[in-house]
Structure 1
Amino acid sequence: MAQTIRVLSALLIAAFLLISGAGLQGTLLSVRGNIEGFSLVLLGSLMSAYFTGFTIGCQFAPHMVKRVGHIRSFTALASIASAAALAHALAVNPVFWILLRVIAGFCLAGLYMIIESWINEGATNERRGRVLAVYRVVDLSAGTVGQALLATADPADFYLFALVSILISVALVPVALTTTTQPTPITSADIDLKKLFRISPLAAFGCLSVGAANGAYWAVGAVYVQKLGYDIQTVAAFMTTVVVSGALSQWPLGHISDLFDRRILIVAIAALSSAAGVLLALTGGQSEFMLLAGGAAFGFTAMPIFGLAVAHANDRADPHEYVTLAAGLLLLYGAGAIVGPFVAPIIMQNAGPQALFFYTSSVYAALTLFGLYRMRRSDATPPEEREAYVSVPRTSPAVFEIDPRGEHEEDESADEAAEDDAKGETA
């Protein structure tokens, strides 16, 4: 295992730098836009624009890799993403910023996809789960660092935009200098959304809900804290607290979900997340302690729902459907994250900053009710047919190929190939 990590260390370092830069950039733009007097709807549009570019990138980036290879594609996409980060500081214009966010979403989708497909190539079936666990640690650590960096300088200055650009640019170095063999060209998965909803309506609706609620949080969560009157250090502490608490909940909740009907846990966690939203809306402005406590409760409950939904969908799918199913759920998350940041700011403009978490509470209340409805309509998956829960980052569809649950797909494809060879020899 140590040898595998050493081989993949350059890619993991690149991923850490990219995720740190992307995390800082998303929060920085919300804070800086608020300072510049952008409306809440415009601030939400920045996140919607990012996920618009992200979903486009998930579909078209593989074609770029097929044409020019992994390293050249990574170099081009990272250079554009780095330039886009700096360009925000050159012209503070909402339309220009929205265009830059589309570009950033497209580039980062491709960058994550390249790194993850490369990591997948170097992960043997025996070590795939441990490699994914290491990648998840890198993802969560980088997300925490990215949010914490917001407190290192004044968001009204050029410094933090330059820092984002530096992080993305330096991510080029380990990839350009790696001696790891380039993987085979990646392919975009064919996604059948109708089939996805048919396999697991609760998982599909759950991923849409997480995108709509958490996408709104990522879009204007920092602005919510600002408008309550807190300083930038408190904004950074709040955003970091949500990430850390979400990281801490992944494994214990995942383990519990392997022991019981996963739908019960999804419903329970969605209900608790709805309650956490109400707590934040009612008490977040009373004190910094109440703000951070509410943020911890929200992160602990809202962040693991996507992984629980993916695991529930896998329980009901055939093994060979796993990668395309998970990729479809990620794109549903992206679709929700396009819509949520539009809706929540409109509500906030009319009802105040606390309305953000009344909105997330409503979304998770709807998921709770839908989960209860689905439990009445269908039986639980037998324990022996459940797939083990695996915490997977929401970065690109390629990350699901690293998941050890995808081994079944590889094995099945190998068996089919062997059968075809046998038939050919017989003929």
Structure 2
Amino acid sequence: MIKVLAGVWALLLGVVLIMLGNGMHFTLIGLRGDLEGFSSAELAIVTSGYFAGFLSGARLSPVMIRNVGHVRVFAALGSFMSAGLIAFPLIAEPWAWTALRVLVGFCMSGIYVTAESWLNDAADNRTRGKVLSAYMIAQTLGIIGAQALLTLGDAATAVLFIVASILVSISFAPILLSAGRVPAQEVARPMSLRGLFKKSPLGTVGIFLLGGVYATQSGMGAVFGAQIGLTADQIALFVAMLFAGALVLQYPIGWMSDRLDRRRLIFGSAALGAACCGLGWMAGDGLWFLMAAAFFAGGVTTPLYALFLAYTNDYLSVEDMPAASGGLVLTFGVGAILGPLFAGWAMQVIGPGGFWVILGATFSAIALYALYRMTQRAATPVEDTESYLSVLPTASPVAVETAGAWAVEQAEIKAEEAETEAEREAEREAERKADAAADR
């Protein structure tokens, strides 16, 4: 693992710095928006703007890369993102913030596509799984670390926005100085939603609903904290817990994913998320109950994303996987745009607790649909399933396709190893029979 990291450490450092800046701005929007008097509905629209921009960037960035190259696209998008972050405190209007969030989301998506293309090029079949895992850990650590940085300043000033902009700006150095020229990453045209649903109804519906969960947690968590009267430090801790849980729960859920019927695991994870949302709703402003609810509700969200990807791949041919990956990213993105809008409406109508109500209802819908699908199709034998690999919901189609290709490679390796072992066992059995015949 050390040898693998030695070749990509600069890229991973740049990713951590980017995520520090991006993670700060996500929480700052909720904190500063509350201070500016924005309503829940207005902040929900601002939140959805980011995911609308992100979805657009996922489609257009590969075209831009093919036209002008990775370095120029990365530098241009990074510059626009840095400028966008520093502009938030200058124009404190919901319409302006929505436009800026669309810009930041678009830039962030393009940055992901470019960085993930470089990482994919730096890995080979033997190391790709480890490189992707390290990349996902770096992203999560960056988001969590960003919450700690928020405690060092006052959201009422421009200082924290400036810090976020600086972090994004200096992230260019380690990435651009270490990354070589690579061919433009070809992202497959997304499979139609009808075709994707026909192949995997649970994967399609589940990842759409999960998009709403993830966007609501990451975009409206700080809004919820501000509305129930948490301090800035407590809000930062609350948001950090939403992502820290994923670091802890990712491995055990991934381990079980390769050994159990994935639909049962999807049901259990979503049911746990729903139960924790119920705990959060009943906790009111009880700090430690809120933190526990955030830890587990947020903790199952990222593993569920990877579970849906792995589950969908179980029912696809190798040729269909790239197009299906694009379709799943598109489906997730649409859910991410709509989720905060429903949460903002609920928080406007029934108060801050609407945050937990929408999350709990969505988790419950995932669990119930998984339970229904268990009655409609037989489970895929565990030995025939694709390998599970941690993929964050923030990943671009490049990482999702790469993870799918890695899963296929691992399945082929396992099949070859099983075939070789069967041949050896047959040879040993033949030798035993020959020895027994000689003894007679």
Aligned counterparts, 1:368-379, within 5 A: 368-379=367-378
Q: For residues 10 and 408 of structure 1, what CA distance do their matches in structure 2 show?
A: 28
Distance 1:401 1:203, change over 3 A: closer
The equivalent residue for 2:52 is 52
Cα deviation for residue 391 of structure 1 reads 0.5
| 1:314-369, Cα deviation, whole Å (9 max, x unpaired) | 11111232233223212211111100111111111110101110111111111111
Native 8 Å contact 1:117 1:401 kept in 2: no
The equivalent residue for 1:293 is 292
The equivalent residue for 1:418 is none
Native 8 Å contact 2:128 2:406 kept in 1: no
- Corresponding position: 1:207 with 2:227: no
**Code of the aligned partner of 1:162:** I
The equivalent residue for 1:95 is 95
| 1:192-228, Cα deviation, whole Å (9 max, x unpaired) | 1222111111011111111112211222111211211
Native 8 Å contact 2:30 2:226 kept in 1: no
Native 8 Å contact 2:389 2:407 kept in 1: no
Distance 1:411 1:202, change over 3 A: closer
The equivalent residue for 1:320 is 319
Aligned counterparts, 1:264-343, within 5 A: 264-285=264-285, 287-343=286-342
The equivalent residue for 1:107 is 107
Q: For residues 411 and 118 of structure 1, what CA distance do their matches in structure 2 show?
A: 25
Q: For residues 260 and 288 of structure 1, what CA distance do their matches in structure 2 show?
A: 35
Specify the SS of the correspondent of 1:277.
Answer: helix
| 1:148-167, Cα deviation, whole Å (9 max, x unpaired) | 22222111111110011001
Q: For residues 165 and 308 of structure 1, what CA distance do their matches in structure 2 show?
A: 34
**Code of the aligned partner of 1:290:** F
| RMSD, matched Cα | 1.8
The equivalent residue for 1:384 is 383
- Corresponding position: 1:366 with 2:326: no
* Higher Rg: 2
Which deviates further from its counterpart, 137-146 or 99-108?
Answer: 137-146
Native 8 Å contact 1:21 1:164 kept in 2: yes
Cα deviation for residue 11 of structure 1 reads 1.5
Native 8 Å contact 2:302 2:391 kept in 1: no
**Code of the aligned partner of 1:269:** S
Which deviates further from its counterpart, 103-112 or 398-407?
Answer: 398-407
Return 5+ residue gaps in structure 1 as ranges.
Answer: 413-427
Cα deviation for residue 3 of structure 1 reads 4.3
Specify the SS of the correspondent of 2:180.
Answer: coil
- Corresponding position: 1:345 with 2:344: yes
The equivalent residue for 1:75 is 75
The equivalent residue for 1:42 is 42
**Code of the aligned partner of 1:347:** A
Q: For residues 396 and 16 of structure 1, what CA distance do their matches in structure 2 show?
A: 16
Identity %: 35
Cα deviation for residue 39 of structure 1 reads 0.9
**Code of the aligned partner of 2:155:** P
Q: For residues 147 and 391 of structure 1, what CA distance do their matches in structure 2 show?
A: 22
Native 8 Å contact 1:119 1:402 kept in 2: no
* Structure-2-length-normalised TM-score: 0.90
| 1:63-82, Cα deviation, whole Å (9 max, x unpaired) | 11111111111110000000
The equivalent residue for 2:217 is 217
Cα deviation for residue 4 of structure 1 reads 4.1
Specify the SS of the correspondent of 1:390.
Answer: coil
Q: For residues 42 and 15 of structure 2, what CA distance do their matches in structure 1 show?
A: 29
Native 8 Å contact 1:273 1:301 kept in 2: yes
- Corresponding position: 1:252 with 2:257: no
**Code of the aligned partner of 2:304:** I
Q: For residues 6 and 260 of structure 1, what CA distance do their matches in structure 2 show?
A: 35
Cα deviation for residue 410 of structure 1 reads 12
Q: For residues 407 and 197 of structure 2, what CA distance do their matches in structure 1 show?
A: 24
* Structure-1-length-normalised TM-score: 0.92
**Code of the aligned partner of 2:100:** L
Specify the SS of the correspondent of 1:61.
Answer: helix
Native 8 Å contact 1:89 1:158 kept in 2: yes
